[in-house]
């Protein structure tokens, strides 16, 4: 498809387990973003990639969270030792370039439930 | 420290009438503001934006008004349609070179009744 693709759409895991969430951005978009949306909240910024490098990871809550984008396209968000508080919808977005007028193209999200 | 605030969690209007969604902000350095719309089980989609140097931007049935002195913006939908039922988020990018980083409000659930 032409949009941002995220897999899995739903992930249920147990506390303490490791989780990977994948994002395939729109072809040609150099900027990629991860946001997290908890229940009753708006999306919150986690990390931003320009090309292959993480240009800003200031939103990652702690060192259990890590993200990569090795070839400048697909990105993987990795969560170690998951906790119940990590339960949320993880949204990936991309844009042709960073900044500009702020229009981001979001995927449908990966809903993570930590039991 | 919530820089973008949407104080109404929900709004219900009748089809054909006007919907007014409100947003307040605290950071006077925001360069522009955006509205995103989100249907259940979908990602947010961009709806309309406004530069901080303007006070109004219109796109079809959607108009955004900006009142800088009050640090307030509003989204007007006229006429409202049942398909407009969704969660609407107000957002603004950080200034100072990090304008890729959007700060979102908590959202307002709009229900348009037939």
Query: What is the pLDDT, as a whole number, of residue B94?
Result: 76
CB nearest to A91's CB, from B6, B43, B105: B43
Distance linking the first and last C-alpha atoms of chain B: 38
How much of chain A exceeds pLDDT 90, in percent? 81
CB atoms within 10 A of CB A10: 12
Q: What dihedral angle (degrees, nearest 10) is formed by the CA atoms of A10, A48, B2, A42?
A: -20
DSSP-assigned letters across all residues of B2-62: -SEE---SEEEEETTS-EEEEEEES-TT--EEEEEEE-TTS--EEEEEEETT-SEEEETTE
DSSP-assigned letters across all residues of A51-98: TTEEEE-TT--STTEEEE-TTSS-EEEEE-S--GGG-EEEEEEEESSS
β-strand partners of A5: A24
CA A78, distance to chain mean position in Å, is: 9
A49 touches chain B (CB under 8 A): no
Question: Measured between CA atoms, how close is B14 to chain A, in angstroms?
Answer: 24
Chain B residue numbers touching A100 (CB-CB < 8 A): 99
Chain A residue numbers touching B3 (CB-CB < 8 A): none
Question: Measured between CA atoms, how close is A14 to chain B, in angstroms?
Answer: 23
Q: What is the pLDDT of residues A1-24, one digit of tens each?
A: 589 999 999 999 999 999 999 999
Inter-chain Cβ pairs, chain A and chain B, closer than 8 A: 64
Q: Closest Cα to residue A77, out of A28, A38, A19?
A: A19
Interface of B with A in 14-53 (CB under 8 A): 32, 34, 41-46, 49
Q: What is the pLDDT of residues B53-92, one digit of tens each?
A: 999 999 999 999 999 999 999 999 999 999 999 999 999 9
B91 touches chain A (CB under 8 A): yes
Q: What is the pLDDT of residues B1-49, one digit of tens each?
A: 679 999 999 999 999 999 999 999 998 888 889 999 999 989 999 999 9
Parallel, antiparallel or unpaired: strands A10-13 and A110-114? parallel
Please say whether the beta carbons of B110 and B13 come within 8 A. Answer: yes
């Amino acid at each position: 498809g032409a949009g941002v693709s995220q897999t899995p759409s739903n992930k249920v895991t147990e506390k303490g387990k490791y989780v990977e969430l994948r994002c395939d951005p729109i072809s040609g978009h150099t900027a990629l973003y991860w946001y997290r949306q908890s229940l009753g909240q708006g999306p919150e910024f986690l990390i931003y990639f320009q090309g292959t490098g993480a240009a800003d990871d200031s939103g990652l809550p702690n060192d259990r969270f890590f993200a990569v984008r090795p070839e400048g396209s697909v990105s993987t968000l990795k969560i170690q030792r998951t906790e119940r508080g990590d339960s949320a919808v993880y949204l990936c977005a991309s844009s042709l370039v960073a900044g500009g007028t702020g229009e981001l193209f979001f995927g449908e999200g990966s809903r993570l439930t930590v039991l | 420290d919530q820089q973008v605030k949407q104080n109404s969690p929900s709004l219900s209007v009748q089809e054909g009438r006007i919907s007014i969604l409100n947003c307040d902000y605290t950071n006077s350095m925001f360069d522009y503001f955006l509205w995103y719309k989100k249907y259940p089980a979908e990602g947010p989609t961009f709806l309309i934006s406004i530069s901080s140097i303007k006070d109004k931007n219109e796109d079809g049935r959607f108009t955004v008004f900006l009142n800088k002195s009050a640090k307030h913006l509003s989204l007007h939908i006229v006429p409202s349609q049942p398909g407009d039922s969704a969660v609407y988020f107000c957002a603004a990018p950080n200034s100072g070179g990090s304008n890729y980083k959007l700060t979102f409000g908590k959202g307002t659930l709009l229900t348009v009744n037939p």
